[in-house]
Structure 1
Amino acid sequence: MVVCVLLLGVGACSMRGARAEASVSASASASAAVARAEQGIADANASATASREAALSPELRAQRDAALAEPAPDKPPQMNEETAEGAAASVGYFLDLYRYAFMTGNTTELETISEDQCVFCKSVIDRAAELHKGGGWANKWEQEITDIAYYEKLEGYNYNLVHVHINYGQIISYYQNASPNVTEAIEGQELKFGVHYVNGKWMIGEGEVVNK
């Protein structure tokens, strides 16, 4: 009985060792598989990037480089004031950031002044990110706010309204290939923004493009 117990004890230790080795081996294999998959994705992305670069003419490459080098818009000095002027300035800044995001792919500041529940804001951020993820960009377009009005919040509502009329120049963007997407110029485009003053600054709570 004593010999049997000892043998069982040794056997048990041997089995535990085997299981540990098998676990280490499986873990190493899984890590290697993940590394190979990540390398494959990186190689595919590099290949796709190289293909897109090769498809760009020198003129388009220069346009893209100019768009990516666009400096961030300046913050209006009054935009954090809890006033009608501050609310209007914040909306103007949002519209400048909108253009900047599509040109450069940088949405950081746009996210900073957009509330989490803003569906319009998220749509802008996601579309700009998707454009640049595919190697695309937008050329700088002209835009001019011709009229902007601020309205106090109505009873039962949590947001103030900022009503904007804006002229847009022709917008040209490129996505994945050299074929341009052209949006013709429009005058007097109407937009509405719900804005909310919180923690010392105006936040964009929602936006709407009013069809003409």
Structure 2
Amino acid sequence: MGSQGLHRAAAHARRGVSGAGRRHERGDWGRSWSLGAVALVVGIGVVLGGCSTPAPEVEKTPSVVSEAPSPTSTPTPVPTGPVKPERPADMDRTDEVGAAAAATYFLELYPYVMATGDLEEWERVSLVDLCEFCVKVSADVASQQAAGTTYSGGDVEVDVTKTYPLDTLLGAYPVDVVLSQDASVIASEDGTVIESSESVSGPLRVEVMYDGDAWLLLEVSTNMPTS
């Protein structure tokens, strides 16, 4: 089984250059009306009088309000499993700042690729003809898939310590980092641990190049030049 530690994989690289309604039941308003008229003639004058029986007071049926149950809110799905790292905005730059952002992003891709087997982004950014580290990672993923094993853990934290000017000979930017990686495990389908790696932290040299369209990974190595 191929090694799962990023530092261990990098050690294989030979060079390191540079998202209620309501129902109202209202009672019918009942009304009854009665009217009486009495005519009375007194003396010369005629007095016309009228008495009206007052309308009975109507009792209003109280409104009945039925509260509909509050709608049940749908919980927001929580992502499970490894999450692909976001491409940093600084990768739009083509200078040393862009190089440092690219180097960080490529290293952060490693645990995602190993855990998911998703090599699409990895192969897109790798200079496979020159990058031994890139080939090693792809081979480890293929080996895991063939064996039916799974990778877990291994999250990384990248601290860029120095970004060098463009190496005109290689057309690449060397970037020195200190990479800290959590412990990781490769296990069989029944959960048996086949291989494990303890947490580790150490320096790495990452070489990235901008090809006029995008940043590419040229190499990752534990070989740290003094220059």
Shorter-chain TM band: 0.5 to 0.7
Report the TM-score, using the length of structure 1 for normalisation. 0.61
Which of 131, 153, 176 is residue 163 of structure 1 equivalent to? Answer: 176
In the other structure, the counterpart of 2:91 is: 79
In the other structure, the counterpart of 1:6 is: none
Structure with bigger RCO (C-alpha 8 Å, 6+ apart): 2
Counterpart amino acid of 1:161? Answer: P
Report the TM-score, using the length of structure 2 for normalisation. 0.57
Per residue, is there more strand in 1 or in 2? 2
Aligned-residue RMSD, C-alpha: 2.3
CA distance in 1, matches of 2:142, 2:214: 25
In the other structure, the counterpart of 1:206 is: 219
CA distance in 2, matches of 1:200, 1:148: 26
Q: After the TM superposition, which residues 41-190 of structure 1 pair with which residues of structure 2 at under 5 Å, given as runs?
A: 69-117=81-129, 118-175=131-188, 178-180=191-193, 181-187=195-201, 189-190=202-203
Q: Residues 210, 184 of structure 1: CA spacing in aligned structure 2 closer, same or farther, 3 A cutoff?
A: farther
Aligned length: 144
Q: Residues 83, 182 of structure 1: CA spacing in aligned structure 2 closer, same or farther, 3 A cutoff?
A: same
Q: Secondary structure of 2:171's partner?
A: coil
> Cα distance, 1:147 vs. partner?
3.4
CA distance in 2, matches of 1:196, 1:147: 16
Give structure 1 regions of 4+ aligned residues with deviation exceeding 4 angstroms.
Answer: none
> Cα distance, 1:176 vs. partner?
5.9
Q: Residues 148, 113 of structure 1: CA spacing in aligned structure 2 closer, same or farther, 3 A cutoff?
A: farther
Task: Work out which of the two has the higher radius of gyration on C-alpha atoms and give 1 or 2.
Answer: 2
Segments of structure 1 that go 5 or more residues without pairing to the other structure are 1-67
> Cα distance, 1:175 vs. partner?
4.4
Identity across the alignment (%): 24
Q: Residues 185, 73 of structure 1: CA spacing in aligned structure 2 closer, same or farther, 3 A cutoff?
A: same
Per residue, is there more helix in 1 or in 2? 1
Segments of structure 2 that go 5 or more residues without pairing to the other structure are 1-79
Counterpart amino acid of 1:116? Answer: V
Write out per-residue CA displacement over residues 11-62 of structure 1, whole angstroms, 9 at most, x where no aligned residue.
Answer: xxxxxxxxxxxxxxxxxxxxxxxxxxxxxxxxxxxxxxxxxxxxxxxxxxxx
